Structure 1
Amino acid sequence: MVKIGTYTLKNKLILAPMAGVTDRPFRQLCKQLGAGMAVSEMISSNSLLWGSEKTKRRANHDGETEPRCIQIAGADPELLAKAAQYNVENGAQMIDINMGCPAKKVCNVMAGSALLKDETRVAQILDAVVNAVSVPVTLKIRTGWDKAHRNGLRIAQIAEQAGIQALAIHGRTRACGFSGEAEYDTIAAIKANIKIPVIANGDIRSPEKAKYVLDYTGADAVMIGRAALGRPWIFREIDYYLKTGEKLSAPSLTEIRDTLLAHLEKLYQFYGEYTGVRMARKHLSWYSKGQPYGAMFRNTVNRVGNSLEQIKLTQSFFAKLAEAL
């Protein structure tokens, strides 16, 4: 079992924080389908943004199973400490600090993985946030800034010293973005040198790969991001494989349809009609990827502007798939 502070997770599987994706409906869905924990989208430490509708939605955990984990991002220790306090006051039970995001707009303001360049600043941020809140604080990093500067182990040691309760590591450097293959040697080296839980992340797309990464790195858990898009049941598939060594049969077409339709309804409820329809488009694209007639379906469904039409087209698409079986 993975223990982070006072919380014990039900398994070794965590949904990675993804901007524009890991909203409350998606986090709840992944938890229902086997994720032991799910991390919110990144919330800026800029206090001017806290009152915005977007930030309020990102921090909304109503009805969500514990532990409720909020990710914060920024470069100023004091602002990050305040952001942590604000989110704890608003229901966060765990704070995750983002030092892994490779996006230019985040790194250009010296946040996300850009912070890995400045180990002194990293230590100041971690100390400030850990001392500001009574809940567990976790950290997400990459293996370093670029291949010549893989300082993940040094950052991990700073994190452990600061009182960070768990460390998630994406097996790429900031310079790699999401290209090339994730490497797990750095994660294994970090795990061998620190005592806090280590969570391995990067290119884990199947039950077999999850088991390989856990065995190879010695990590306590794995974090799944892009592989869960349009396939939230990947968590129960991995969980079953880790427990039994056997593969769970793939979900039926009916189950996929029902999961997607329920997901759409949750998005409309959470965001309201206008934004809900637009947020649904990316999920419709992910669920239909690789399916027969998928491109044609995406081309049509992404043009409609209301929820009833979206649902009708989705039902027709699955009816057509069923006929083709």
Structure 2
Amino acid sequence: MTVPFPFEAGAGCPVLLAPMAGITDLPFRRVVAGFGAALVVSEMVASEDMVRARPSTRAKAELGVADGQTAVQLAGRDAWWMGEAARMLADQGARVIDINMGCPAKKVVGGLSGSALMRDLDHALSLIDAVVAAVDVPVTLKTRLGWDEACHNAPELARRAVGAGVKMVTIHGRTRCQFYKGRADWAAIAPVVRAVDVPVVANGDITGAQAARQALAQSGAGGVMVGRGAQGRPWLLAQIAASLSGRPVPPAPQGAELVALVGAHYDAMLGFYGRDLGLRVARKHLGWYADAAGGCALARRAALTATNPAQVLALLPDLLAPMQEVAA
């Protein structure tokens, strides 16, 4: 059975939400999806931990049965665990399984997962084969240009992955050894586009519509994936998509609308994680919202140190108002 991508029915260039550890949990994905996104991707989930049912891993992967446009990203180094985790997630309702071969974190690479797999393409393909064989939903791949400047093997990995059944490839325009330093090299994604006949998505430094256009022009990719640019701006994907398609760009929420949005996101985080953990997780999101709004430092300090949810909600109007409005 062939299952189409959730975004194939839509018009225009797809704009996807990148998986980000500690950020793209269910509450944040739902906020982004609420503005319109071709696809939102979960935090990276360790395949063995998922099968062994560790609660924190299950929380990262939790989908919500009614949620569409959702992919779950799997990482691992063992084909059996990868296949079992993919099967479990598809049974729970995942529409797309994405395989992580791009995470540069030392603890991931040290475990021979993430971008470490770019150093052993035969082993990488064994993982892809296992996941594709385990599920009927589309399987996608997210990776980088290569391990370092001397090893740009993303075109070969992509070609072999597509031959194994992968339906889309996302390329972050940096090598593993670059981590997130320097600028993403969108032009270096072009050889991957030429190597395969499935959609290729450009990732890295997509912070707005202008950057998205440049990434598409330089790479020849068919879509873009937004990561850190969406922090504090969950509406950004919808704005980029509208601009790329020539539609009117919706304005960013302001005033009471923004307060209501952030308040609802805050409540959702408390409900998802529980009060104590939710308070801690929410602080980084509140800080990003304040950065985007240009709020005042005093309101920020008060909101990020408050331990009572009602206090935090009461502080949102000042936290999210531009500094000059608070001063007035």
| TM > 0.5 fold call | yes
Contact 1:241-1:248 within 8 A present in 2 as well: no
Identity of aligned residues (%): 38
Whole-angstrom CA distance in 1 between matches of 2:136 and 2:46? 20
CA-CA distance at 1:247 after TM superposition: 5.0
Q: Which moved more, 1:112-121 or 1:309-318?
A: 309-318
Spell out the pairing of 1:63-142 with structure 2 (5 A cutoff): 63-142=65-144
Runs of 5+ in structure 1 lacking a partner? none
Q: Which residue of 1 aligns with 2:276?
A: 274
Q: CA deviation at 1:35?
A: 1.2
**In structure 1, C-alpha distance between the alignment counterparts of 2:211 and 2:156, rounded to whole Å:** 27
Q: 1:16 aligns with which of 15, 18, 25?
A: 18
Equivalent pair of 2:19/2:42 in contact (CA under 8 Å): yes
Is the contact between residue 168 and residue 198 of structure 2 (CA under 8 Å) also seen in structure 1?
A: yes
Give the whole-Å Cα distance in 2 for the aligned partners of 1:161 and 1:225.
28
User: Which segment is superposed worse, 312-321 or 136-145?
Assistant: 312-321
Aligned to 2:306, which of 304, 307, 323?
304
**Aligned with 2:163 (options 139, 161, 164):** 161
Give the match for residue 219 of structure 1: 221
Which residue does 2:232 correspond to in 1? 230
Identify which of 29, 44, 47 aligns with 1:45. Answer: 47
- Residues 5 and 195 (structure 1), Cα distance of their counterparts in 2 relative to 1, 3 Å cut: farther
Report the Cα offset of residue 301 of structure 1. 2.1
Paired residues for 1:246-325 under 5 Å: 248-289=250-291, 291-318=293-320, 321=323, 322-324=325-327
Q: Residues 50 and 57 of structure 2 are in contact (CA less than 8 Å); yes or no, is this contact kept in structure 1?
A: no
Aligned to 1:186: 188
> Partners of 1:169 and 1:256 in 2: how far apart?
33
Give the aligned residue type for 1:213. Answer: A
- How many residues are paired up? 322
CA distance in 1: counterparts of 2:211 and 2:321, whole angstroms? 33
The change in CA–CA distance for 1:226 and 1:195 in structure 2 (over 3 A counts) is same
Q: Provide the C-alpha distance between the structure 1 equivalents of 2:75 and 2:326, rounded to a whole number of angstroms.
A: 47
**CA offset at residue 55 of structure 1?**
1.7
Per-residue Cα deviation, 1:54-112 (whole angstroms, up to 9, x for no partner) = 12211211154323311111111111111111211222121111101111111110101
Note the alpha carbon deviations across 1:131-158, whole angstroms, 9 max, x for none: 1111111110000001111111111111
- Of 126-135 and 288-297, deviating more is 288-297
Q: CA-to-partner distance for each residue in 1:135-184, whole Å, 9 max, x for gaps? A: 11111000000111111111111111111011010000000000000001
Q: Could you tell me how far apart the structure 2 residues matched to 1:237 and 1:254 are? A: 20
With 70-79 and 84-93 compared, the bigger mean Cα shift is at 84-93
Mapping 1:137-156, distance limit 5 Å = 137-156=139-158
Task: Report if the CA contact (8 A) 1:59-1:70 is conserved.
Answer: yes
Aligned CA-pair RMSD: 2.0
**Structure 2 unmatched runs, 5+:** none
Cα distance change of structure 1 residues 131 and 253 upon mapping to structure 2, 3 Å threshold: same
Kept after mapping to 1: 8 A contact 2:294/2:321? no
Aligned partners of 1:297, 1:118: CA distance in 2, in Å? 50
SS at match of 2:232: coil
Conservation of the 8 A alpha-carbon contact between 1:73 and 1:111: yes
Q: Deviations over 1:266-303 (max 9, x none)?
A: 11121221111111100011111165554333332222
8 Å Cα contact 1:28/1:64 also seen in 2: no
CA contact (8 A) 1:152 1:186 kept: no
* Cα separation, 1, equivalents of 2:233 and 2:52: 31
Query: 2:243·2:249 contact (CA, 8 Å) conserved in 1?
Result: yes
In 1, are the aligned partners of 2:14 and 2:222 still within 8 Å (CA)? Answer: yes
Q: Which amino acid aligns with 1:110?
A: L
SS in structure 1 at match of 2:176: coil
Structure 1 residues 201 and 5: alpha-carbon distance in aligned structure 2, compared to 1, 3 A threshold:
farther
Greater CA deviation, 288-297 or 20-29? 288-297
Query: For residues 271 and 173 of structure 1, do their structure 2 counterparts lie closer, same or farther at Cα, with a shift above 3 Å needed?
Result: same
Query: Are the aligned partners of 2:290 and 2:319 in contact in 1 as well (CA < 8 Å)?
Result: no
